[in-house]
Amino acid sequence: MRPLISAFKQDARYQDSKWVSFGGSYSGSLSAWIRLKYPHLVDAAVASSAPVQAQINFVNYLAVVRDSLGSECDAAIQAATNQIEALLQHRVGWKVLSKKFNLCDQLDGTNENDVANFVQTLAGNFEGVVQYNKDNRAFEGALGTNITIDTICSIMTDNSTSPIVRYASVNQLLLQTNSQKCTDYTYKNYIDSMTNVSWASGAAEGGRQWTYQTCVEFGFFQSSDLKDQPFGYRFPVSFFEQQCKDIFGENYNVALLEAGVNATNTNYGGFGIKVTKIVFPNGSIDPWHALGILDYGENDDDAFAIFINGTAHCADQYPDSENDPPQLRAARDQIFQFLSKVTSPDCAEQDLNL
């Protein structure tokens, strides 16, 4: 991007143009970082839902998911988790779980990695719904945008059936929504897909690339190590650290990752990032806000944060909808007003002294 901007800046037709970078999620981090590193090229930035602090064990991801679901829904999930734990203790239970959750392969409760992947998959059903709750992705053909926190928690709090049956119903709903015949949970299948380097593979769409970055730069492992959450403790941070080795090789160990995370935070500043002319929007329901900038001090001329109550991941980046809450509309107005101010001709570039 830097050479492209430099080329335009050198063109007489664009010498007076103002460049603003926009991004959401990881690209939101990049939006902030390009403004940090090249303030003479990029005049302002919008960094939506941007995780700026690299962290190996991202335990607060599940904390936000828990809080977003609410106490009644959490209690039902915890009850289902307890029932799953009881069934994992014997072979008959493995068969029951295989049937209830429509597993593609019969569960072997002695295979710790398979069990971890199974439990994480069930937690992931809720994580995905929370992260993208009520966003406007439907305009680009995204599936399941009608499945919200209200949808899955209405299932989980329906006391006419047992908690584990409700938990399985949520899983089946998402399988059907994504046109999947069964729950593919085995660790081997996951590792095989992620080690397939063919451009025709599903992992080549971005999963393998992003996993590589998490293994060498960011961590961001959404582990079950937080004590007060309802999804059990079967997928600790060590489970994700092992995946790095199994996918990319033995050299991709914890020491390499620790060095990479330290380098990322040192290079870009982490929570202590020092920048001007950036706005950091985050949603209260978005689990990634736990690694974002939620408050940037009192000087709005430098940079500022917008914490949008009741919205999820990158909500401000999507097209307007008649269903948007007023606080989201207000946040979009704030972003527009901020950019109008900081990119105005009489707004001189500040010396960052970086």
Judged on CB neighbours under 10 Å (0-12, 13-18, 19+), 35 is buried
Q: 119, 171 in Cβ contact below 8 A?
A: no
Q: List the Cα angle 205/180/124 in 5-degree steps.
A: 70
Give dist(CA 29, CA 49) in Å, integer.
8
Total residue length of the chain: 354
Per DSSP, the three-state class of 20 is: strand
Give dist(CA 38, CA 272) in Å, integer.
18
Give dist(CA 243, CA 248) in Å, integer.
8
Nearest one of 309, 296, 308, 300 to 340, comparing CA atoms? 300
For the four alpha carbons of 244, 249, 254 and 256, in that order, the dihedral sign comes to: negative
Torsion of CA 313, 319, 320, 326, to 10 degrees: 20
| DSSP-assigned beta bridge partners for residue 281 | 306
What Å distances lie between residue 78 and 9, 11, 34, 72, 321, CA to CA?
Answer: 57, 61, 42, 10, 35
Give dist(CA 228, CA 239) in Å, integer.
19
Q: At what angle do helices 163-177 and 149-156 cross, to 10 degrees?
A: 150
* Helix, strand, coil shares, percent, the chain, to 5: 55, 10, 40
Give dist(CA 166, CA 152) in Å, integer.
9
Active site residues: 25, 286, 313
